[in-house]
Structure 1
């Protein structure tokens, strides 16, 4: 069976890109109204996100990662004032590791399908083109005020397997769980987004991941441990075997999780002192 291509949602050449532009305009306009008009939104370090989305070295991909607070995080996360959410030329592909994102620029990842499922290859293609990819590496919506959960390995595998080392930018947000709560009335979500809520979006700084050194460490650790095998190919740069890949993806995920947790803690005090800087 040939590999399927996301002709409508993820590709700009389908019917001249007109369907995608229509969806982005409609959804982006609604998201802008919800986030920028009906609710109060504060963004920390937005300039870093805007700079990396609009201008970065030629051919260098961008991977943004964030926590997942509601079913509407995408597109609400990109609807703050000043962000060009309706720009179809930003080349953003969205990945949530359990469900299709409906914003018109997405790649469907099947929950439980593993990190080598077919559409992960399409995500790698986007990265090889120097595009922007956003992921929700926690793997599901968590609306509780709790530490960042253990991350799924899909995001780490994309970072490690990308032909060009991507820029990794962590983001943490709060408030969307109040705009679209999972249990609003009789255990169901509201029929439409709520208003008069406080939304905070905390953009971190690009992470420095020394992937060559992390690969060497993963290879060294794998020699002293035993793992059950899942039949993974040795397609990770450096030809790492499955055991080494597991160590590598775990190490990358742990680093991202730790940074996201620091951002989450910072967000709790952000409203008290908006001019403070991240450590």
Structure 2
């Protein structure tokens, strides 16, 4: 993979990014070799286009740095910056997951059907949160490749903590905005204006991916889903105008381990890992949404939000059980329950 994937003509990677990538990749290759592992892209005949088609080259000969072309050119509108970012960073993330690791997608037809939902119907996908690269890396790897090349319109809106991705003046904030990420303020409650923005995206028929656990967990457990996800669902007036797609995944916690003392978003990756993703059918919540005007939910809507959140939590937990059943002992025993909000 190294050296084979090129950005479109006229663009160049920042030298510091290249050096850092080469350093991490060399370390990962040495570790894989020491354990007798052959990475997929090291196998004879591997071609990057086998997991990601080549990108179309933009018109024009003016040479711009990748960062400048995405963030600093005032001629580019927000939508254009997002399309450029998703069309370039997305394929790189896809190559990382599919080319440097082993991705196994189970029941992916549920995702494909949701992506082909009727116009004006929102899509809310929910899953466990086990690594900093759950999004964008995993989502870029599981969607059809053509989705990344069509621009930003059909790709998901991500949700990231304001204290992580949206610190004023940080380069990460610019990356987040250009990658279709929306802020959320952890600890600010379910009536914060940031949730209103997410709801508006769903109401206009967009796809939003949401991590209901609220933070990264690498203990194998499904921790309680916070009631904010319940408010997202209940705020779309017509149940048929929203699909809620659950999925469960495992493996990225080994690719990108996080420790309690971690101060960096990224750590040295452990490549050659088997990553499994299992999708469920869209969850029918219409029977719960019919209760919005009934006591006690008409006076205390947060109670309904909690019921919806718990229902989705159980859906993801059931997918974990099903994945363990299909893979036998490959994943080990299902971790004991007992997760918390902490």
Common topology (TM > 0.5): yes
Q: Could you say what secondary structure the match of 2:275 adopts?
A: strand
Write the distance in 1 (CA, Å) between the matches of 2:230 and 2:201. 15
The TM-score, its normalising length taken from structure 1, stands at 0.77
User: Which residue does 1:29 correspond to in 2?
Assistant: 91
Alignment match, 2:138: 77
Structure 1 Cα separation of the partners of residues 276 and 290 of structure 2: 35
2:219 alignment counterpart: 144
Other-structure match for 1:268: 324
Shift, 1:178, TM fit: 0.6
Alpha-carbon distance in 2 for matches of 1:136, 1:81: 17
2:105, 2:81 → 1: CA distance?
30
Match for residue 66 of structure 1 among 120, 127, 134: 127
Q: Deviation digits for residues 89-120 of structure 1, max 9, x if unmatched?
A: 21521124665493701110010111121121
- Give secondary structure in 2 for the equivalent of 1:107: strand
Match of 1:133 in 2: 208
Q: Which has the larger radius of gyration?
A: 2
Aligned to 1:247: 303
* Aligned mates of 1:264, 1:97 — CA distance in 2: 25
Q: Deviations over 1:202-254 (max 9, x none)?
A: 101111112343325xx4346xxxxxxxxxxxxxxxxx33x2x1210011011
Match of 1:111 among 186, 205, 209: 186
Residue segments in structure 1 that go unaligned for 5+ positions in a row: 1-7, 223-239, 275-279
Please say if residues 93 and 133 of structure 1, whose CA atoms lie closer than 8 Å, have aligned partners that are also in contact. yes
Following TM superposition, by how much is the alpha carbon of 1:40 offset from its aligned partner in structure 2, in angstroms? 0.5
Corresponding residue to 1:156 among 216, 230, 233 = 230
What's 1:43 paired with? 105
- 1:171 matched to 2:171? The reply is no
Match of 1:232 in 2: none
SS in 2 for 1:108: strand
- Answer yes or no: is the 8 Å Cα contact 2:258–2:267 preserved in 1: no
Indicate if the aligned counterparts of 2:105 and 2:142 stay in contact, CA closer than 8 A: no
How far apart are the structure 2 equivalents of 1:264 and 1:96? 24
CA contact (8 A) 1:36 1:79 kept: no
- Alpha-carbon separation, structure 2, partners of 1:21 and 1:212: 35
Tell me: CA distance 1:81–1:63, structure 2 relative to 1, closer, same or farther (3 Å). closer
Change (3 A) 1:187 1:95: closer
Residues 1:49 and 1:204: Cα distance change in structure 2 (over 3 Å): same
How many residues were matched structurally? 240
Cα distance in 2 for residues equivalent to 1:198 and 1:272: 15
| CA displacement at 1:49 relative to structure 2 | 0.3
Question: Secondary structure of the residue that 1:92 maps to in structure 2?
Answer: coil
Q: Which runs of 5+ in 2 are unaligned?
A: 1-69, 167-175, 331-342
The structural deviation recorded for 1:141 is: 0.2
C-alpha contact 2:107 2:279 (8 A) present in aligned 1: yes
Residue of structure 1 in register with 2:315 after alignment:
259
- Can you list the C-alpha shifts for 1:17-45, whole angstroms capped at 9, x where unaligned? 22112221232122111110000010011
Does the CA-based 8 Å contact 1:97-1:154 persist in structure 2?
Answer: no
Q: RMSD over aligned Cα, in angstroms?
A: 2.8
Q: Counterpart of 2:139 in 1: which secondary structure? A: coil
Q: In 2, Cα distance between the equivalents of 1:82 and 1:108?
A: 23
